[in-house]
Amino acid sequence: MIERKRTEFRDPVVIAAHELLQTAVAWLGADRGWLAANPGWLGSSEMLLAGEREEEHTGASHILRLPLEEAGAEIGELGLIWTSEPAPEVRNPPVLQALRRMALALLRLAREQQASRRLLHVQEQELCRIVLDIHDGPVQEIFAALSQIQLLLRAGRLSQTARRRLEQAAELLERALTEIRTFIGAFRPPEFETRPLLAMVHGLILQHEVLTGHEVHLEVEGALPTPPLPVKIALYRLLQEALNNAARYSGVTRYTVRLRGEPQGLWLEVRDEGRGFAPEFYLANPSPEAMRHFGLRGMRDRAELLGGRFEIESAPGQGTSIRVWLPC
């Protein structure tokens, strides 16, 4: 017996798969059908993207199977089911070819989206490694250098000029240590696999308030779904970037975070009533000045990699609202 799983994909893959299946049923006069990826394409098991597979003994009078091939290998199947006699006459090669092309495109899209989700997780693991390397390497060396300078200052027998320069060097090293430790604290992964989403959001907001002295008001609407790991990581990093942007550029010390759960996903909004700006300049302008501000583009790309949506509303003097929808 072949093990089958329901796909975890949401917008746009599942929506498009269901629409394709409905189109195939309508074009060929079938009653229902399925679109599935073979084992090895999206995972070790067969993955149903739309419909339900049925065998002859479950009431299906006639079944048409269209194998989907990529580079000579069968990667999936589009199936159609008729439940009544007489046997259908499917004699329209252009229609069948068009359905095959669309189904293949969907399977490729599903695989690309799956790879994007894995990539986000890998990037998070790499970030964790970088943070640990910074802590165990440069931080320890800077601390050792600072300790040596402090020993020299306590030892005495220094000219006034030498003492002043050593004190300046010690101050610079202390400032660098503070900034690096702040960075490490902000980007240390918060146990994504085990902590609930809302607990992670509360922890991030508290950390932001402690580091900036700003006030963040959190609103939660509806029951929050349990997101897959890549979505949880993405939401955390998107919220982190949005809060950092508000702290740096809004000119205000109070802003609002809203989370709203939906059956197929969740919304995140970060809103401030600050100075605002023209977002189209940074999102669409290829100039060197705009390209230096890559935070907004990175947020948009991170959301879209998961099949989500990124929206921003802002204008000079009218505050800023960043909204992100992520599928769950």
Of the pLDDT bands very low, low, confident and very high (cuts 50, 70, 90), residue 58 is low
Domain segments of the chain as ranges: 4-110, 192-327
Of the pLDDT bands very low, low, confident and very high (cuts 50, 70, 90), residue 235 is very high
Of the pLDDT bands very low, low, confident and very high (cuts 50, 70, 90), residue 291 is very low
Of the pLDDT bands very low, low, confident and very high (cuts 50, 70, 90), residue 11 is low
What CA–CA distance (Å, rounded) separates 107 from 105? 6
Of the pLDDT bands very low, low, confident and very high (cuts 50, 70, 90), residue 214 is very high
Residue with tokens 């509360």: 202
Contact 142/176 with Cβ under 8 angstroms? yes
Residue 292, pLDDT score: 47
Our CA angle for 44, 117, 130, nearest 5°, is: 115
pLDDT for 290 beyond 70: no
Point out which residues pair with 217 in neighbouring strands. 256
Residue with tokens 């359905």: 99
Residue 116, pLDDT score: 73
Region of poorest pLDDT, from 118-122, 178-182, 257-261: 118-122
Q: Is the pTM of this model over 0.75?
A: no
Q: What is the mean pLDDT of residues 27-34?
A: 87
pLDDT for 1 beyond 70: no
Contact 190/204 with Cβ under 8 angstroms? yes
What one-character-per-residue DSSP string does 190-232 give? --TTTS-HHHHHHHHHHHHHHHH--EEEEEEESPPP---HHHH
* DSSP-derived pairing of the beta strands 4-6 and 46-51: parallel
What CA–CA distance (Å, rounded) separates 286 from 288? 7
Each residue's pLDDT tens digit, 98-127: 898 899 888 888 887 777 777 776 676 667
The listed range with the strongest mean pLDDT (66-70, 130-134, 188-192, 267-271) is 267-271
CATH of domain 4-110: 3.30.450.40
pLDDT for 296 beyond 90: no
Contact 32/72 with Cβ under 8 angstroms? no
Of the pLDDT bands very low, low, confident and very high (cuts 50, 70, 90), residue 97 is confident
Read off the amino acid at residue 297. R
Residue 8, pLDDT score: 42
Residue 5, pLDDT score: 43
Q: CATH top-level class for 192-327?
A: alpha beta
Residue 87, pLDDT score: 64
What CA–CA distance (Å, rounded) separates 204 from 187? 10
Q: How many CB atoms lie within 10 A of CB 141?
A: 10
Residue 259, pLDDT score: 96
pLDDT for 50 beyond 90: no
Taking all residues of the chain, what is their mean pLDDT, rounded to a whole number? 81
